[in-house]
């Protein structure tokens, strides 16, 4: 089957998947035409169609330019579902709940830290544990973990891991008040007990980056970014804790789907009505996992600052390491959006997709409300990352959503067949990038060629108007799980 028979072209960056069979809404894919064969090869259209059958879905079943095959729903998928009479699905959120990125800007020039870069990377590698099953420097008891689940990043700041100002520049102020710390299982609590302040493995990372190009000087100035500047980008989530929440509730939702007689084309999309006990419990447990993830990134922020002060011998004020933004890309949020002239209360499932809220929305921090929310789109290891901003077009078309990264295009097994971890580290060092990793295998699995070209993904986001380019950053140092 050719691309032309599957998708109906709307314009250069929009492709409709017509409503057929049990689909309640059409599908809509954002991509340049040359990206479509990969979408077809990965059966993204099939999963977009499946998501379109979920009860209560409105508008379109969406796929962002970085979309690829995922558990039930494509990574890079978006589904907005009526919160009053629709469903909520763990598979449409993902295993690593509230996986996301945090960007720190500095008052330093990247060229000035070059002489200290190896020592700084060593210090960061020690300060922020990485790798499979990695545990941090904090070992919390059950009651203290529950405080983390209730307060999120606020808990970390109250304990001295960061500054009050950090919370003013992150999504939701760093916490979700709907969290219920009593819902996660004992197994989830045990898995999360020692993992606060850690990166984990897979595609998670901590990067030192140089601001290489500014596209929108006015917005960049509001975000505190300038050419040649040193910045730090951290990508991680709720670790084993969030993974266990998803695992536990997928089992529960299988039963719930049968109980409420919900017909599904793929059991991985198992779900329950938002207002049911199962739906409410999942949402509250998911929020607890999100709070864990926000606290995790806040503790990591503190560790980054400590490492910088130790190696560079400068205080926090002189370094100017301040939060630009922190945003999740695996989450379901209850939001109000306008559709067809009516305001709807929606459960917006974003799986491998990030908010891109426009100027004026109350959810955008006051400091950015005149220009729109910062959007952080990391590339693959060794390639550039982007800072974008939310747009009115995103609010109208995608429920305020855009792409979250490069998007994988090759399996980890395939990547391992093409490169050795030591060889890859040498290649990156030749490009001026210092790399620290807990695993040679893990490093090879995340080779840059295993991912789509992030610049092409961003070009589709910018070209379609669902976010706009502000700045490009290139890595000079990477801590990899």
Task: Give first-to-last CA distance, the chain, whole Å.
Answer: 39
Nearest-angstrom CA–CA distance, 244 and 288: 12
Of residues 451, 138, 479, 127, the one with CA closest to residue 309: 127
Burial of 440 from C-beta contacts in 10 A (0-12 / 13-18 / 19+): middle
CA angle 242, 247, 253 (to 5 degrees): 120
Task: Detail the DSSP E strand segments found in 215-262.
Answer: 229-236
**Which residue(s) pair with 412 in the sheet?**
none
Which residue in 235, 329, 337, 404 is the catalytic one?
Answer: 404
Q: Is 264 helix (H, G, I), strand (E, B) or coil?
A: coil
Q: What share of the chain is helix, strand, coil (3-state, %, to 5)?
A: 40, 25, 35
Query: Do the Cβ atoms of 241 and 191 come closer than 8 Å?
Result: yes
Burial of 416 from C-beta contacts in 10 A (0-12 / 13-18 / 19+): middle
Of residues 58, 127, 46, the one with CA closest to residue 86: 58
> Is 204 one of the annotated active-site residues of the chain?
no
Instruction: Find tokens 């520049």 and name the residue.
Output: 169
Give Rg (Cα) of the chain: 21
Nearest-angstrom CA–CA distance, 361 and 248: 35
Catalytic residues: 404
């Amino acid at each position: 089957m050719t691309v032309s028979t599957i998708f109906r072209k709307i314009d250069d960056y929009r492709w409709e998947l017509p409503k057929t069979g049990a689909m309640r809404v059409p599908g809509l894919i954002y991509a340049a035409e040359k990206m479509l064969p990969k979408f077809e090869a990965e059966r993204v259209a099939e999963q977009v169609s499946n998501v379109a059958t979920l009860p209560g879905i409105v508008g379109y079943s969406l796929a962002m330019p970085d979309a690829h095959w995922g558990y039930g729903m494509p990574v890079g998928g978006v589904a907005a579902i009526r919160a009053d009479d629709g469903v909520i699905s763990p598979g449409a959120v993902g295993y690593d709940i509230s996986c996301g990125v945090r960007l720190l800007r500095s008052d330093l020039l990247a060229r000035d830290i070059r002489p200290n870069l190896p020592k700084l990377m060593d210090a960061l590698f020690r300060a922020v544990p990485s790798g499979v099953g990695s545990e941090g420097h904090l070992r919390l008891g059950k009651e203290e973990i529950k405080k983390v689940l209730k307060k999120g990043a606020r808990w970390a700041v109250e304990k001295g891991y960061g500054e009050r100002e950090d919370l003013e520049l992150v999504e939701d102020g760093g916490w979700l008040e709907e969290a219920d710390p009593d819902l996660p299982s004992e197994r989830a609590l045990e898995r999360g007990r020692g993992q606060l302040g850690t990166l984990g493995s897979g595609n998670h990372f901590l990067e030192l980056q140089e601001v290489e190009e500014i596209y929108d000087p006015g917005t960049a100035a509001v975000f505190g970014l300038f050419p040649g500047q040193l910045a730090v980008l951290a990508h991680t989530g709720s670790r084993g804790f969030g993974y266990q929440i998803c695992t536990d509730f997928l089992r529960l939702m299988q039963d719930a789907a049968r109980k409420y007689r919900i017909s599904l084309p793929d059991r991985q999309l198992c779900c329950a009505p938002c207002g049911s006990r199962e739906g409410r419990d999942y949402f509250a447990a998911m929020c607890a996992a999100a709070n864990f993830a926000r606290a995790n990134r806040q503790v990591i922020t503190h560790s980054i600052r400590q490492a910088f002060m130790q190696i560079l011998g400068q205080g926090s004020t002189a370094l100017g390491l301040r939060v630009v933004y922190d945003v999740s890309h695996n989450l379901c949020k209850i939001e109000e959006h306008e559709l067809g002239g009516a305001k709807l209360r929606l459960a917006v499932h974003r799986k491998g997709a990030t908010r891109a809220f426009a100027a004026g929305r109350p959810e955008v921090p006051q400091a950015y409300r005149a220009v729109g929310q910062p959007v952080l789109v990391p590339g693959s290891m060794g390639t550039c990352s982007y800072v974008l901003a939310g747009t009115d077009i995103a609010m109208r078309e995608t429920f305020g959503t855009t792409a979250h990264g490069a998007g994988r295009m090759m399996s980890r097994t395939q990547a391992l067949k093409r490169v050795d971890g030591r060889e890859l580290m040498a290649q990156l060092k030749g490009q001026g990038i210092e790399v620290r990793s807990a695993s040679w295998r893990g490093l090879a699995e995340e080779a840059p060629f295993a991912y789509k070209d992030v610049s092409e993904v961003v070009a589709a986001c910018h070209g379609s108007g669902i976010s706009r380019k502000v700045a490009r950053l290139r890595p000079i140092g990477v801590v990899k799980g």
